Structures are given as structure tokens and as C-alpha cells.
Structure 1
Amino acid sequence: MTQAFDAADQQALLETRAEAALALARRLGADACEVGASVDQGIGVSVREGDVETVELSRDQGIAVTVYVGQRKGSASSSDASEASVRDVVEKALAIARYTGEDPAAGLADAELMATRFPDLDVHHPWPLSTEEAIELALTCESAGRGVEGIRSSEGASLSSGEGVHVYANSHGFLGGQRGSRHSLSCLLIAEDASGMQRDYDYTTSRDPRALRDPAAVGESAARRTLQRLGAVRPATGRMPVLFDPSLASGLVGHLMGAIAGGALYRQSSFLCERLNTMLFPDWFSLGERPMEVGAMASSPFDADGVQTRDNVFIDQGRLASYLLSAYSARRLGMSTTGNAGGARNLRITAPLESQESLLARMDRGVLVTELMGQGVNGVTGDYSRGAAGFWVENGRIQHPVEEFTIAGNLETMFQGLVGIGDDIDTRGSIHTGSWLIDEMTVAGA
């Protein structure tokens, strides 16, 4: 059994530590200061071929302090949030600040932007799970998958469950805390036929353990996905449509957000520099964030600067309507923060949706991609090239699995060539989207 974790007590302790750090920084000469402190606890187990492989009980804590002396900035952190450690961290941050150069953009976000609304976002659902219960759930998941005819062996099933508290405070007088939880279960299986071995997996994750899929269903789904890949061959080479599975389409959204992030923009390391208010997508496509969505994976009332989060629209009817800015990156760009220090929260697409069968019919001939490999994405140019596996589509129908091929294009061209989005929405992460059909990419296979 994991050590007892009282989130309310932990939050109160972290708030006390944060306030002590702020007071000490002021006494030692800082003009401004901000503090982040957190504590997390969890359990993780993995099983393989019916045996327990690992059991891990974790408890992590830390504190990070940033001080400003004029427009000089210094930061230090520690994995120990004790009273003695707080003093040491503050002193180190101040020592660093005195030797750094002045940065006109340095400093806290404006005081009037600090969050004042802290609704219950329903993101904290502890799971009082014993080690024995966690092992049993993982074994049930793996056993269900191994029991499917055609499955040769298993790479294992894993269960993780954790909760934590995060506190942020600064010398504007802002003090905010949030408790959260995350639970997940996954299974990876292996099948083999005359053409060779294949592997695939499935998983479920949620803030609330009651929303997790049935362990046996996860294992059986992993088995079906694995068996579907048997007999894979290399596809033909050419220019053709590509349909991205929902779990991969979310990665395309992630590349977009990376390209409009303030850090990439002020460093001139994005293919979307100075592209605000230009058309990037078809006019039926919009993308925004909902940071106050109840129960969602990335919900928070304040960002990493303490700024009140708000709904933002990044793509409005195809047009790039907003960048993704923290207080610092906004100052560097001569703009205002969008409340996105720490990233976007709960990205949601507004667009007409259609079934995957409809998208396949519109594709006619091409590839459905269900796995991507490699890191071949250039954020400066937008060039995109990844190893892939999936299924060959002919006459609008899936014909057979394919592997060992590359898909290539340019992100901006891909965005403009978005033909349709599926109603098979993957809600497991902070980006909710269905399949994406891109009109044409280069497929390099046989």
C-alpha cells in the first residue's frame, strides 16, 4: 500500500513553504520573486507473461524559485522542499541573478492579470489502490490479450496511478494551488505468422479511475490491433492521400502549437513567424482551448505565470487568430500574454465530422497511418518526414497492412490540404481529435 497522502495537508504545507520563500527573497534584496512547489505520489506495476516484473512506489517533491533583481533573473531548484532547503534555493537564485545580464522582458506577469477565479475543475480523484490490486488489474489485462487466438507472446501490461499537488506563488501576492490525479493501464502484445512478428498496444487513461476502460477490454483490443498487422508489406511509392489515425492526428496539432509558441517565434525558429491572421487551414476548421473544462486532462484556472486562463481561439475558420504566449514571450514579441505559460490546455476542434468509412471512400487509394517512427519534423521549415506503418487502402476500402515506408510533406501544405476530420475522436489526452485526411503526401515504400 502506498504511503497515506492527504492532499489538503500537502497543499497547506507547500503554500507555507512558498510564502516563506517569497518573504526570504524580499529580505535578501530581490525586487520580485516567484515560487513553484509540488509533491506527487504514485504506484506503478508491470507484468509480463503472467509474472510480476516491477513494482514501484514513488513520492517526489520539489521547489523552484526565480528571483528578479532589477531586470536580472536567477533561478534555482531542489528536490527537497524542507525549510532549510528553501533558504538554500533562494540564496542560490539571488547569487545567480547578480551575475546575469539584464533582460528587458524579464519579470512577473502584470499584477492585474493574476487569477482570481478558482472553480472546482474536478481533476482530483485519488485511487486507494493496494499493490496487490494493481497487480491483479494488470494481470487481468494481459491475460485477456494473451487469451486471444493468434497472440504469440506479450511485452507486458502496466498500470500506473498517481496524485499530486502543485502550488504557485509570486510577490504580487498571488497564491494558487491545484490538486490532480492521473491513472492509466496499457498492454503491448506480439503475434507471428510466416511473414514475421508484429506488435501493437492499447491503453486507457483518465483523471478518474472509474472512467478507465475495463482491463480485459484493453487487453483484447491490443490483441486485435496486433493481429491486424500480420502479413504487412511495403506499399507502393508515389503521391497519394494519407489518413492519420486519431492518436497520430493529435501529433499534427502538437506540431502546430509548437510552431505558434512564443518561444519559437521570438527566436525566429518557426515556419509560422509573422503569419498571424493568414489562412493556414480550410475555412471549415477552427481550433481553440478550454482550460476550465471540468474533468479534462489539462484543466487549470491559472497558467505557470499565475495568469487567469481563458478560452482562446488559435485557428478561427482556417485563419491563424492567435499565438501561444506567456508573459515573457509576449514581451519579447511586443504583444500580450494569452495565459499560456506552460502550454495550451484542452485543445478542441470545431469542424464538420464524418465517419472513417466516409473518409476512406473519399481517399479511394492511399494509406491509413496508425504508427509513426522517428523525429523527422523541422519546426523552422515545416518539413515533415516520418517512418510509418498502417494499412493500404484501395477503392475506398482497407486491403492489407503495410509497414517500412516513409511519409513526407510540409506541415503548412498538409494543413492547407486537410480534406476531412473523422468522428472517431480520441479523448484520452488533452488534444481531442478524430482522424485527419490529408489530400496528398509523398509515400516512399517499395
Structure 2
Amino acid sequence: MIEEKQQLENAVNEALIFAQQLGVDQAEVALGKSTGISVNTRLGEVENIEFNHDGAMGISVYLNQCKGSASTADLSLEAIHASVKAAVDIAKFTSKDPYAGLLDPESLETAPLDLDLYHPTRCTTEDFLAIAKECEDIALSSDSRIVNSDGAAFNSHASIKVYGNSNGFLHSYATSRHSLSCMLIAQQQQEMQRDYSYTSGRDVKDLLSAKWVAEDAVKRTVERLGAAKINTQESPVIFAPEVASGLFGHLVSAISGMSLYKKSSFLLDSLDTQIFPKWMQIAEDPHIIKGIASSPYDQEGGKTTKRNIIEDGILQTYLLPGYASRKLNMKSTGHAGGIHNWFIKTGNLDLAGLFKEMGNGLFVTELMGQGVNMVTGDYSRGASGFWIENGVVAHPVHEITIAGNLKEMFMGIVGVANDVDQRSSLKTGSILINKMKIAGQ
């Protein structure tokens, strides 16, 4: 690994040196190389085995604030030089952009941390297949209502990321990611339902067991049997952690640089204003050891730092890569490439306690469709889950639509349970919203 990283860094350095020899004002080079395997089994048989071995170098140059980009999968000296020349030629024909360019040197990370993100496995293809088969076998034999399977899958991937620019930045780091999943089909009379479960992590040793994934997939699938529509109404809604993370994902989009400078966000001019209840806290920590979204620096080499996104319900920061920060006349926040590990503050209640606090209402476990208007915040999506009556699950629900406005939904959050989904990079428990419109029958 050390030797390979050095070779890739040398390739990036060669591209930067050649770009400067051609007289560019600035240059940046990103090089990624990934290898991995994906195996799928279904009903005890091998469904497919896929190997991947990918790599490419992306080169961007700036001439008088005109940008040109080119890429190559061939890392020979001739191919690198040809790609740099192509980028320079393109820059000569692009429009001038006063906001184009690299991060300022003071914004670059000078001493990247080792975050322990690389954990390759010595497991063989046969080992991966055995784990997937074990998971599916346990699931299929555990409940007579599980009548079929969409299969179990094991994925294992590793990559090296190198980034360098003409402001003196050149660093690299390696990552790994492993996951096991299982999707099942349950039947009760003429009704059929499908659901799944999974586990993932940087290190195979940190994955939950095949037995856990199988049993969780079975539980989720059979619980959906007996689903019915409910009447159109307005009621409280609880979002399960796996869909609550998506709700906060809309916050990410709304406070990201591109949405802001294009004025396509419902949270324009919301910095330092209250957008959540006063008790709400959201923190980001890019430097969690083995973290799913940890990063020693962002995709532009920018510093990644621990920060509060929401403090006492007040928006503390936008999420700005270099280009957006210049457009908005602000400083980069180290978010080129997206967010890092987010932590939503939870309360003392578990999910059962949140049900009791809600009393009667809807518990959403799955969302469908993309009915979210990021300009207005209007929210309307297909949903399924469970109807809660007097604080306990009454029956599963499907074929409904929930609607509201994200501004009102954020301010209407009553509580966050402590049932945090540790598999996600955006860690939240179930959230209770005071009211939403439900379209049923």
C-alpha cells in the first residue's frame, strides 16, 4: 500500500509540474484508485460475483481565471502530459470566471490526521459467499411467512485518494468499506411485502453478524404484513432513524453553497436565525476514528474541523466549498465533497417512550418519491409505516402520502428518541413532528 500510494502521488506531482511548465496560473489534480468485490446469493445459489478495479486522474488548470479540465485512466508519463495539454487547450476556449481557482493557501490542511479509515480484509471470495449464504439461510428458515428472497449481498471495497495543487498541497489517504445486506419477501394470504436490513463499516470486524442482519430483515418484513390505508387527516408523525436522516439531508442541501448562490434554497439568508426549536443541537465531527464520513481534508485539500451546525436551534454555518465561498464573499468551511459525521442531539426517551408521548399518530419507516421543492420547502412524499394508537403500534400502514413544509417541520420537531442508527453518517434517532397532513382514503 505504501509503495502504491507513493506511485500515485508521483503521478499527481508529475501532472502539476508539467502544468506549471506550460505556464498555467494554477492547477489541481485528483487521483482515485479503487478495488473491490461484490457477491450476491439468492435462495442458496450464487447469483453473481463482480470484481472492480478502477482508477482515473482528473486535471483542472486555470488560465486568467478560465478553467479547463481533462482526465485519464492511463497513468503513463505520455498520457499524463497529453491530458494536461488537453486541459490547457480547453481553458483557452472557456469563459472567464472571476470566482474560479484554488483554495487560498491558509485554508489548506497542512498536517492531515490519520483517521484509521483503511482496513482491508483477507477474506476470500468463498468467505464472502459463505457469509451471504449464511445470512439468507437464517432468514429463510426463521419464519414460515418468509416465502422468497431478493438475495443477500456482501460488498468489500478499498480505495486510495490523492489530491494535489499548485499552492503546495499534495497528500493522500486510503479508505475501506464493507457491507452485508439481505432483502426478503413475506406473504400472508394474498398479500406480499418486501423489506431488508444491512450492516456496514470501515472494518469487517465492526460489522454486525449475519444472524443479526437476517433476523432484523425478517422482523422488518413480516411486520409490514396486514398493512392498510388510513383516512385522510392531520396528525403527529414520527420518522424512524433511517428516514429521519433523509429529512436532515434536506437541511444539508438547503445550506449548501450551490443552492445558496443560485438562490434555490428555502433557507436563504437564514444564517444566525432560529430554524429549529431552541433545544435542538446538531454537531459535525470530521475526525471520528473509523467514521463512515470522516475525512482528514475535503476534496479541495481544505481543512475539516469540528463545528456546531445548529446551536440552540440557530443555524451557525453554511456548507461552503471554495467556489461557493467566493461567490458568497465568505470563507470556505471544508465541505467540498459533502458533509462529514453529523450528530443530532437526542433526548432521554426510547422509541416506545416517543410513541407514548405522541399518543395517536403515524410512524413512518419508508418514504417514496422525490416530492421536495428545495426553493419553497414544500414537502410531499409517499410513505408507509405503522399507525400508533394510545402509544402502541396498532397496525401497519401503506399507500399514503405525507405533506408539509420543511421550515414548519423543522420548527415542529417535538423530540428525538435515543434509538440512533449507528450505521449512518448522519446519526439521529427517531424524530417526532407535531403535525403533518396525511392523504389516505
TM-score by length of 1: 0.97
Of residues 182, 188, 192, the one that matches 2:187 is 192
Aligned partner letter, 2:296: P
Aligned partner letter, 1:38: G
Of residues 293, 302, 316, the one that matches 2:297 is 302
Residue 221 (str. 1) matches residue 216 (str. 2): yes
The answer as to whether partners of 2:345 and 2:416 remain within 8 angstroms in 1 is no
Query: What is aligned with 1:142?
Result: 136
The answer as to whether partners of 2:40 and 2:48 remain within 8 angstroms in 1 is yes
Residue 323 (str. 1) matches residue 318 (str. 2): yes
Alpha-carbon separation, structure 1, partners of 2:137 and 2:71: 44
The answer as to whether partners of 2:345 and 2:428 remain within 8 angstroms in 1 is no
Query: What is aligned with 1:34?
Result: 28
Alpha-carbon separation, structure 2, partners of 1:32 and 1:263: 23
Residue 409 (str. 1) matches residue 404 (str. 2): yes
Query: What is aligned with 1:380?
Result: 375
The SS at the match of 2:337 is: coil
Query: What is aligned with 2:262?
Result: 267
Alpha-carbon separation, structure 1, partners of 2:190 and 2:357: 31
Aligned partner letter, 1:247: E
* CA deviation profile, 1:91-118 (whole Å, cap 9, x unmatched): 1211111111111111110012211222
Aligned residues: 440
Residue 343 (str. 1) matches residue 344 (str. 2): no
Residue 128 (str. 1) matches residue 122 (str. 2): yes
Query: What is aligned with 1:114?
Result: 108
Structure 1 residue 9 displacement after superposition = 2.2
Structure 1 residue 77 displacement after superposition = 1.7
* CA deviation profile, 1:415-435 (whole Å, cap 9, x unmatched): 000000010001112111100
The answer as to whether partners of 1:189 and 1:200 remain within 8 angstroms in 2 is yes
* CA deviation profile, 1:111-138 (whole Å, cap 9, x unmatched): 1221122222111100112111111110
Query: What is aligned with 2:172?
Result: 177
Alpha-carbon separation, structure 2, partners of 1:213 and 1:111: 42
Alpha-carbon separation, structure 2, partners of 1:87 and 1:162: 30
The answer for unaligned runs of 5 or more in structure 2 is none
Of residues 151, 161, 172, the one that matches 2:146 is 151
Query: What is aligned with 1:16?
Result: 10
Alpha-carbon separation, structure 2, partners of 1:123 and 1:48: 31
The SS at the match of 2:217 is: helix
Structure 1 residue 363 displacement after superposition = 1.1
Residue 66 (str. 1) matches residue 30 (str. 2): no
Alpha-carbon separation, structure 2, partners of 1:238 and 1:348: 32
Aligned partner letter, 1:257: V
* CA deviation profile, 1:309-365 (whole Å, cap 9, x unmatched): 111221111011110001110000011111111111001123434211111111111
Query: What is aligned with 1:243?
Result: 238
The answer as to whether partners of 2:37 and 2:49 remain within 8 angstroms in 1 is yes
Aligned partner letter, 2:337: G
Query: What is aligned with 1:4?
Result: none
The answer for unaligned runs of 5 or more in structure 1 is 1-6
The SS at the match of 2:323 is: helix
Residue 422 (str. 1) matches residue 417 (str. 2): yes
The answer as to whether partners of 1:158 and 1:185 remain within 8 angstroms in 2 is yes
Identity %: 45
Aligned partner letter, 1:294: I
Query: What is aligned with 1:434?
Result: 429
The SS at the match of 2:162 is: strand
TM-score by length of 2: 0.98
The answer as to whether partners of 2:151 and 2:183 remain within 8 angstroms in 1 is yes
The answer as to whether partners of 1:195 and 1:230 remain within 8 angstroms in 2 is no
Query: What is aligned with 1:313?
Result: 308
Alpha-carbon separation, structure 1, partners of 2:202 and 2:154: 14
The SS at the match of 2:376 is: coil
Aligned partner letter, 1:25: A
Aligned partner letter, 1:210: K
The SS at the match of 1:404 is: strand
The SS at the match of 1:310 is: coil
